[in-house]
Amino acid sequence: MERVDISLLGRDYSLACPPSEKARLLEAVKLVDQRMQSIKGSGRVSGNERIAVMAAIQIASEFLSAKAPDGPLANVAFGDFKRKIEDMHAMIDDVIEPSGTSR
């Protein structure tokens, strides 16, 4: 693991990550810091903790609504895909072990 020093909203943090993931981590830190700076700049949210929570929610929402770029799942958002997989797992679990029975 490699120690990586970062800054979010002017506060310094030390993180650890494998050297092969350092570039991706720094890219993620840049995105989060930019989002936090934008929220802080709007003046509607105060307090670093609240700003961090709002940034996390915005980024997670964007991720879950993002669609695959091409291929058979091009029109399915990641969040929808995740829900479909969870629904299929639940259906399989119901078939394998119907409620009220035990092995």
Question: Which residues, other chains included, contact 63 with Cβ-Cβ below 8 Å and sequence gap of 6+?
Answer: 78, 79
In the chain the beta strands, taken as DSSP E runs, fall at: 2-8, 11-17
CA–CA separation, 89 and 67 (whole Å): 22
Rounded to two decimals, what is the model's pTM?
Answer: 0.67
CA–CA separation, 31 and 37 (whole Å): 10
pLDDT in tens, 10-47: 999 999 999 999 999 999 999 999 999 999 999 999 89
Domains (range + CATH), the chain: 1-65 (3.30.160.880), 68-103 (no CATH)
pLDDT in tens, 78-102: 778 778 888 888 888 888 876 555 5
Question: According to the model, what pLDDT value does residue 40 have?
Answer: 95
pLDDT in tens, 29-38: 999 999 999 9
- CA distance between the termini of the chain: 44
